[in-house]
Each structure stands twice: as C-alpha cells, then as structure tokens.
Amino acid sequence: MSENKIAIAVYSRKSRFTGKGESIGNQVELCREYIRTHYGEQAMERMAIYEDEGFSGGNLNRPGFKEMMKAARNGSFGMLIVYRLDRISRNISDFSGLIEELSRLGIAFVSIREQFDTGTPMGRAMMYIASVFSQLERETIAERIRDNMHELAKTGRWLGGTTPIGYASESVRNVTVDGKTKKTCRLRLIPEEAEIVRTIYRLFGETHSLTLTEAELIRRRLVTRSGKYFTRFSVKAILQNPVYLIADADAKGYFADQGADLFSEDSGFDGEHGILAYNRTRQEKGRTTVYLPVQDWIVSVGQHPGLIPGSTWIGVQKMLEQNRSKSFRRPRGNEALLTGLLYCRCGSRMYPKLTGRRAEDGSPAFSYVCKIKERSQRSVCREKNINGNRMDQAVWKQLKELKEDREHFIHQLEKSRKWYVSSRTSCEQQLLSIRQEEAQLERKIAALVDSLAELGAGSARLHVAKRIEQLHQELETVQGRIRELEESASAGMLGEKELISLGQRLSEFSSSIDEMDVEQKREMLRALVDKVIWDGQTAYMAFSGASMG
C-alpha cells in the first residue's frame, strides 16, 4: 500500500435503542490509543474515522458504514479496528458476510474489547461465536421491547408523538395499587377537527379516489392544523389510521381475522371508544418509515372516543388496496432544470409532468404544471401550463448571455451573502425570544395540568381545562412560528472560500456551459436564481441577492 493511502480505518457506532455502551468519542479515543500502542505515532497519520450515531446494529444500512465499505473496496485501507464486536453488527448473517468480504479484500479486522484478530484461525472462530451472542442479545432486546408494548396496550394509553387531527393529548393522573400517583396521557376529542376527519372518510367513500377527495377538500378550503391544504398523502394517512376506528364487533372481527395481537376483552369493544395500535411502523434513522402488516400490530381499545364505524373503516382499507393512488409521471431522471425554482403566480410550485410526446430534439416532452391547480382539479387555479422544454431552453439562454465578468459576479454574490448574514442574525434573535415564550407556555400548561388532579368536578375544573386548551392553541401558534424562523435561519449562506470558488466558476461558465450535464446546470441555476415566476404568459426570474437583469 502506497504511503499516500490510508492504512487503518476506525469504525464506531452508538445505538439509539439503548443507553448502554461507550460513546462515539470514547470508542474512537480507545481505538486511537490501540493504534498508537501497537503501530506507533506514524500510523495515526494514516487513519480514517467512520461514525454512525443513532443507528441500530440490527442491519448494515448506515451511512458511515456504507462510506467505509466503499473506501475498503477502493483499497483505501488495509485494517479495520473497532472498540467492540457488536459495534459492527449484531446480526450473525451480516457479520459473517462482512468478515468474508474483508478477507477477500485482504483487510484485517481487529476488535479491541474481545481481543479478536482475523489474522489467526482461532481469532476468526472466536469472532463468529461472539457474534452469535451479539445477535442473541439483539433478539432479547427486541423481545423485551415487544413485551413492554404488550403491557402498554393493556392500559390503552396514548404514548405521545404527533397527535392525530381530531384529537388533542391530555395528561391524567392515576393512583396505582401501591398508592403512588402516576401521570399518563390520553386523547381528547376536538369536535371541529373530528368533523373534518368524518368528511374525509365520507368523500373517499363517495369518490373511491384520493385525488378527487383532495380536490374537494381544497375546493371547500378545509385545511390542516398548520393552515395548509390536505394532500392525497395526508388524506391516505388519515384513512389508514386505526385511531379513528370505533371499537365495535366489526373491528374486533377484522383484527382477529388479520392475526393481530388483541389486548382487550370482548366487553372492551363497546361501540364507543377508539382503537390504539402499537407496533404499526418500523422507524430507523436515515430510512423511510416502514408500515408493518396488521398481523404485527398490538391492538387495544383506547380511552378516547372513536369516530368511524368498523364496517366503514374496513371498507376504506379494501378500497385503498384495490385503488392505489396514481402519482403524476415525472420526466425520467428528472431532466427538468427548473424543478424547485418555478412558481405559478398563485404562489404554488410548478412541477414537471410528461406529455407522452417528443420534443423537437427527440427528448421526452414535458410541461410545467401548477401543483395547486392539479390538486384542486382547477377549482383554485386555472393558469396555463408551460412547455417545459422551451422554458428550460429560454432560461438557460438568458443565463448564457450574462456578462463574463468575474468581479461583477463576485459583487453580486457578496451582496447576497451580506443579506443572508443580516437576515439570519435577525432570525436567530427572534428565535431566542420566541423559544423563551414557548418554554413559559409549557411551564404554565404543566402547572395547570398538575392542579387538575386536586380539583373536584365543579366549575373550577372546567375553567382550568378551558385555560389549558387556550394555552395549547397559543403553544401551537408559537411552535409554528419557530419552525418558520428555523427554516429562514437555515437558509444557505456562502462562506469565503465557496464565494471565490463559485465566482471563478461563474466567470468561466459561458465557455464550458455546453459541456455541463443536467445536474451541473441545475446547480448553477440554484446558485444564481432565487425563483422563476410564471404569470400565464411571461416568466420572471428573481436573481439571488440583487437584480441582475
């Protein structure tokens, strides 16, 4: 291995499922000390560190691990060191395959804690044995988590997270058999939101279509808690959520037939309360949420009122299976240059949609379509579509005609950077103030919730409950403002080196513009253009930081 190549790789991982184990920093430091002791200070200069924080050892789908294996296959290092064996994997199959691949690549594997070294036959044998126990521990943890879910299911508690529309989460106090007071949560109905949920189920039952349901909701100006229009995806999530299902005989029969774990007596399915389903999803950091089949659910009757009769909810599930939503066809590989930059004058984004024809140059023809026009079935916006191929060509032609003046570009970018700095500082100051307001509201709510346990069933309790609801609404408004400010504060800002580098590229881009691929062109557009606005006849380009044309 040449001197300029990395000789040793260090890998560290910290699981999000348990609090056990050394921290990422400690693992790396222990590996550094091992390298220093066994291979000397010079080896420290040829060391690469790969980290995954918040990822389970149950599989190898981790960004740091993938990056490390890519480097391994490129021959970037000849030894891999971990602090402990299960930092690599708790799955015997994954681990076995990894060791075989490392061996094939000629890479030695060292685990400090277990003192294993794949350089010897005994070391390899002991490593396989240890990995079997690692997998056993993982499966034991998974079994323990499921047992805990079973216990929670018996109580019908709401475990927190995003509260479904139609309900609010409220704290209640329970006295246990040993006399201790325990705080739990349950869902409380919000009548006006519950009516929206019923409307969604009714519309889908009539149309059998997510798209038509979405369009009718927009036409009626019905919106989510955050004031945004419902999308067909949010509609589908509501239709699939068993929290709205009334626990009646039909619901019980459905879950029994599907093989779900039922943790309520027959008497619990009283035709009034709603359903709580635990273990509906599998969520791992860096991966899309996976919805598990009903047979994996742990189902119980909750303490909240249900909204949708069992027969209706079950019928909706069958319709969703039979009539899956058809999304619009985007150009393959998304050849459109203005994706994410183009807006209709109604304020909605415009997205590319294939027409099924060919453009003059033989490429797939596509149009830019107003998103709200498409979603509302033209009830909110009726603006004309744009010929996407011609639009891209026209915008790119305008950019090619910009001055080849490096100083001019640098000046414009510097103005943009100063504006971002000023804007970001202002956002951060506002964030500090509004977060203090958020904390104060949360303290007030907690204090009032605690006082409810000491009040009887008189008018005082009703007044306190009403005040809690008012504070919750204020808190949601404040949290919405925080999200807006955080998005503004995180807006892209060029550093000094990036500024000069981009200025150099911009000053030379006319000479190399025709050699750029789609991604390079799109990157250049985003560096220069803030947004493009279509008014039905003319497109207006708003350049970043200052007007340039």
DSSP 257-315: HHT-EE-S-GGG--SSEEEEEES-EE--TTS--EEPPGGG-EEEEEEEEP-B-HHHHHH
Q: List all residues 6 or more positions away from 302 whose beta carbon is below 8 Å from its beta carbon.
A: 156, 158, 186, 187, 243, 247, 273, 274, 275, 276
> Is-contact 545 492, C-beta < 8 A?
no
| pLDDT in the model for residue 222 | 92
Mean pLDDT over 303-330 rounds to: 79
Tell me the one-letter amino acid at 470: Q
Whether residue 403 has pLDDT greater than 70: no
77 neighbors 5 (Cβ within 8 angstroms)? yes
Average pLDDT over residues 143-151: 59
Quote the pLDDT of residue 548. 37
Q: Is the pLDDT of residue 508 over 90?
A: no
What pLDDT does 3 receive?
41
Look at residue 217 in the predicted model and tell me its pLDDT: 93
The pLDDT mean for the chain works out to 76
18 pLDDT above the threshold of 60: no
Is residue 549 pLDDT above 80, yes or no?
Answer: no
Q: Which tens digit of pLDDT belongs to each residue from 169-218?
A: 887 766 454 556 666 788 899 999 999 999 999 999 998 888 889 889 99
The CATH class given to the 167-322 domain equals alpha beta
Which carries the bigger pLDDT value, residue 161 or residue 354?
354
For a pLDDT cut of 90, what percent of the chain falls above it? 18
Interatomic CA distance for residues 51 and 26, integer angstroms: 12
Residue 19 pLDDT exceeds 50: no
**pLDDT reading at 134 higher than 60:** no
Residue 308 pLDDT level (bands cut at 50, 70, 90): very high
List the structure tokens of 250.
């039909």
- Looking at the chain, the whole-number percentage of residues with pLDDT higher than 70 is 66
Sign of CA dihedral 352, 354, 355, 358: positive
* 217 neighbors 248 (Cβ within 8 angstroms): no
Lowest-pLDDT range, 210-214, 296-300, 395-399?
395-399
Q: What is the pLDDT of residue 438?
A: 81
Kindly tell me if the per-residue pLDDT of 372 is higher than 90.
Answer: no
Nearest Cα to Cα of residue 86 among 47, 133, 144: 133
Would you state the pLDDT for residue 327?
Answer: 44
Query: Which H or E run contains 251?
Result: helix 249-258
Tens-digit pLDDT profile for residues 67-101:
999 999 988 898 999 988 778 876 666 777 787 78
The larger pLDDT score, comparing residue 395 to residue 453, is at: 395
CATH of domain 8-141: 3.40.50.1390
Q: Tell me the average pLDDT across 305-329.
A: 80
Higher per-residue pLDDT: 460 or 62: 62
Q: What is the pLDDT of residue 331?
A: 45
Higher-pLDDT residue of 543 and 321 is: 321
Measured distance CA(277)–CA(255) in Å, rounded: 10
Residue 531 has pLDDT above 50, yes or no: yes
Tell me: pLDDT of 287 over 60.
no
Tens digits of residue pLDDT in 404-440: 555 555 565 555 555 555 555 666 677 778 888 888 8
